[in-house]
Structure 1
């Protein structure tokens, strides 16, 4: 009897690799933008969220071009040595393309770019492996959702989920309630999956999406200027890698 098609095993982890043509097109696109714009910035992303990076791309869509993804391919496009570099000086940017970094091409002045990114740090929910930015304690009494203003108590059907995440709740007039305060997390401590999920459920944002500008190349002179700024990439335990190539 022939095998049923329904019995066929399909791997859900298999991801198609980029073809040589796709990589070649990506390299050409990076090089074309290096020819087009006055400045090429190297940036680093802290607490990576695709949604926030898309916001940056949308806000700069008329005055910049962003590449974020495979550092090795971007480095190849720029040229990692003086002999291979696409334009004079670009190898100094290519050599720093490691980790969650990207390229930002623009004609805007360095002062304008640095000022804009210094002001752009939208808050977001922490994930497992992030460090708590502050101590958060749920007070005794009805457990409140902070998504709304003013906060509202959790509905009764959420109590099983709250108990699953470590809260010792009781029902008082149909509202999940704590008899004593509960410390969800302490400042500087790494968040567990349960802590991160509970903070999101309650509506507490512990992190900020940040873009750290590391250096910029000036087309006119070929000079690369390093930028000394605060570290934006947090060391995470068991964090997720979002290294999918993206352009605006």
Structure 2
């Protein structure tokens, strides 16, 4: 009997890496945009979700260009020293490109950009490794899906999964039921995979995707302005990885 292809293991060493040509193309693209736009913003993302970041890109598609890729490549493109900087003053911004950050080029005035990103927040489900933002206790009685309107109990066929994820449930008139309150998670503590899955099943959104603007470069003056009070707490930026994203991606 032939081996199933579905069970075939693929070594991580065989995963395709960015080629020298692709990196060169990204550097060229970044530099061309640095020549085109009035401002370049450095931003950081909390509760990273590629879907939400792509939404930001689409909403700014006609008035900005967003890059969220390898920090070393982006920093090299802009130049981290006065001798290497692509335009006057860009080295001050490039030196800050570390970790999961991105850059946004736009002609929109600073007040408009700051106001828009301050308002853009998207609640989402936490993942394993995120920090619980609040304590969640499931009361005794039927285990409810709070995202339903009105809330409804879980169906009988999902009771085995609830037990597998750590709930001491039993069937009561065909409904998965808790006989005593269950602390699902505690504020400030790291979520396990089981806790994150339970929070998603009941519909409890624990994190908020948001974009923090860290600094702004102005093409006219070459000055870099730091945006005070925007640095995100470490717990908001840890644990979630993002794919490389720029406005030139295919849909």
| TM superposition score category, shorter chain reference | over 0.9
Equivalent-residue separation in structure 2 for 1:234 and 1:110 (angstroms): 26
- Alignment map for 1:170-185 (pairs within 5 Å): 170-185=170-185
C-alpha distance in 1 between matches for 2:78 and 2:228 = 23
Helix, strand or coil: the match of 2:234?
Answer: coil
Paired residues of 1:45 and 1:233 also in contact (CA < 8 A): no
Spell out the pairing of 1:39-50 with structure 2 (5 A cutoff).
39-50=39-50
Specify whether residues 41 and 230 from structure 1 end up closer, same or farther in structure 2 by C-alpha distance, changes over 3 A only.
closer
Q: Could you say if the C-alpha distance between residues 169 and 159 of structure 1 is closer, same or farther in structure 2, counting changes exceeding 3 Å? A: same
The CA RMSD over aligned residues, in Å, is 1.9
Alignment-derived partner of residue 138 in structure 2: 138
**Is residue 246 of structure 2 the alignment partner of residue 247 of structure 1?**
yes
2:216 alignment partner, SS class: strand
Separation in structure 2 between the aligned mates of residue 32 and residue 223 of structure 1, nearest angstrom: 19
* CA distance in structure 2 between the aligned counterparts of 1:109 and 1:193, rounded to whole angstroms: 42
- What is the CA deviation profile of residues 148-187 of structure 1, one whole-angstrom value per residue up to 9, with x for unaligned ones? 1111110000000101111111111100011111110111
Regions of 4+ moved over 3 Å? 4-7, 233-238
2:187, 2:166 → 1: CA distance?
19
Aligned to 1:164: 164
Residue 229 in structure 1 maps to residue 222 in structure 2: no
Correspondence for 2:216: 216
Moved more, 198-207 or 228-237: 228-237
CA-CA distance at 1:237 after TM superposition: 11
Determine the structure 2 residue equivalent to 1:186.
Answer: 186
Q: Give TM-score scaled by structure 1 length.
A: 0.93
CA contact (8 A) 1:212 1:229 kept: no
Contact 2:214 2:231 in 1 (8 A): no
Do structure 1's residue 115 and structure 2's residue 115 form an aligned pair?
yes
**Deviation of the 1:235 alpha carbon:** 3.3
Q: Which moved more, 1:11-20 or 1:100-109?
A: 11-20
Q: Please list the CA deviations of residues 66-115 of structure 1 after superposition, one character each: whole Å capped at 9, or x if unmatched.
A: 00010000111101100000000000111001011000000011111111
Distance of 2:118 and 2:238 partners within structure 1 = 28
| Structure 1 alignment gaps of length 5 or more | none
Which TM-score applies when normalising by structure 2? 0.92
What is the match of residue 98 of structure 2?
98
User: What SS does the corresponding residue of 1:98 show, helix, strand or coil?
Assistant: coil
Partner of 2:67: 67
Extract unaligned runs of 5+ from structure 2: none
Shift in Å at residue 233 of structure 1? 4.9
Task: Assess if the C-alpha contact under 8 Å between 1:69 and 1:245 holds in 2.
Answer: yes
Name whichever of 101-110 and 17-26 sits farther off.
17-26
Name the CA distance, whole Å, in 2 between partners of 1:66 and 1:162: 41
